[in-house]
């Protein structure tokens, strides 16, 4: 990945399935929001896949469940109510977990002078709500979020721009890594010019991540190669 003996300049992580799993808390928060506003039971997974940005999740689910496009301000109301419910759902989730190897790796990278950031489809508030339970937020000094762009590759580009501002120096994309658990993460990282580490702690196994084009596929972040 980086030159042997040289740490990566920046490593930018996906959240869900890569760093943590909320055990379905996000889907439950969406479901409660739809029920309270529209009286319909909605499973957002019926309308979207993994790695989709929150605004795209909300819009696809709205169209699928209600059979129409939202009118003015409807998405704002829906997303605000989902965020209102999310902290409680995360806090009460019995299946919440931090993925193997995450905390030691983050400390190791930061101690070696690597800048750490996020590329996530979550809107910014949702990402930090999810990471807060595990006290992981303090590791990340920049990020690109679903509140920045609809397409994940554009989220990755925003993250790179913010990483340059946070680090006070241009990022050499050849020394930057994106880390994620879905083919969408792989495509977005490559589309933004970075190499990508796929980690099979989500719904995709090692062969699927390799087939998607990951430059390195790991079973868990415990397998991160030693420098």
Render pLDDT for 122-159 as a digit per residue (tens, 0 to 9): 999 999 999 999 999 999 999 999 999 999 999 999 99
Residue with structure tokens 């009118």? Answer: 71
CB 35 within 8 A of CB 88: no
Render pLDDT for 14-23 as a digit per residue (tens, 0 to 9): 999 999 999 9
Render pLDDT for 156-167 as a digit per residue (tens, 0 to 9): 999 999 999 999
> What's the pLDDT score for residue 58?
93
Going 57 to 43 to 180 to 216, the CA torsion angle's sign is negative
β partners of residue 13: 118, 179
Q: What is the mean pLDDT of residues 192-199?
A: 98
Sorted by where each starts, the structural domains of the chain and their CATH numbers stand as: 10-22+97-223 (3.40.50.1000), 25-92 (1.10.150)
The band of 3, judged by pLDDT with boundaries at 50, 70 and 90, is very low
Distance CA 138, CA 23 (A): 22
Mean pLDDT over each residue of the chain, to the nearest integer: 94
> What's the pLDDT score for residue 51?
75
Render pLDDT for 22-39 as a digit per residue (tens, 0 to 9): 999 999 999 999 999 999
């Amino acid at each position: 990945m980086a030159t042997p003996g040289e740490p990566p300049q920046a490593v930018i992580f996906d959240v869900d399935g890569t760093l943590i799993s909320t055990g379905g808390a996000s889907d439950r928060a969406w479901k409660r929001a739809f029920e309270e506003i529209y009286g319909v039971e909605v499973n957002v997974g019926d309308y979207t896949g993994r790695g989709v940005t929150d605004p795209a999740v909300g819009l696809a689910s709205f169209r699928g469940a209600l059979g129409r496009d939202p009118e003015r301000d409807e998405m704002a109301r829906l997303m605000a109510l989902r965020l209102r419910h999310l902290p409680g759902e995360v806090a009460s989730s019995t299946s919440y977990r931090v993925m193997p190897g995450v905390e030691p790796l983050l400390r190791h990278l930061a101690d070696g002078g690597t800048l750490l950031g996020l590329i996530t489809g979550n809107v910014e508030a949702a990402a930090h709500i999810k990471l807060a339970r595990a006290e992981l937020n303090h590791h990340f000094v920049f990020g690109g979020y679903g509140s920045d762009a609809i397409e994940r590759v554009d989220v990755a580009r925003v993250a790179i721009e913010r990483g340059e501002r946070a680090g006070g120096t241009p990022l050499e994309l050849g020394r930057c890594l994106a880390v994620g658990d879905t083919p969408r993460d792989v495509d977005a990282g490559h589309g933004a010019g970075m190499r990508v580490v796929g980690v099979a702690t989500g719904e995709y196994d090692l062969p699927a991540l390799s087939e998607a084009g990951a430059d390195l596929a790991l079973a868990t972040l415990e397998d991160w190669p030693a420098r």
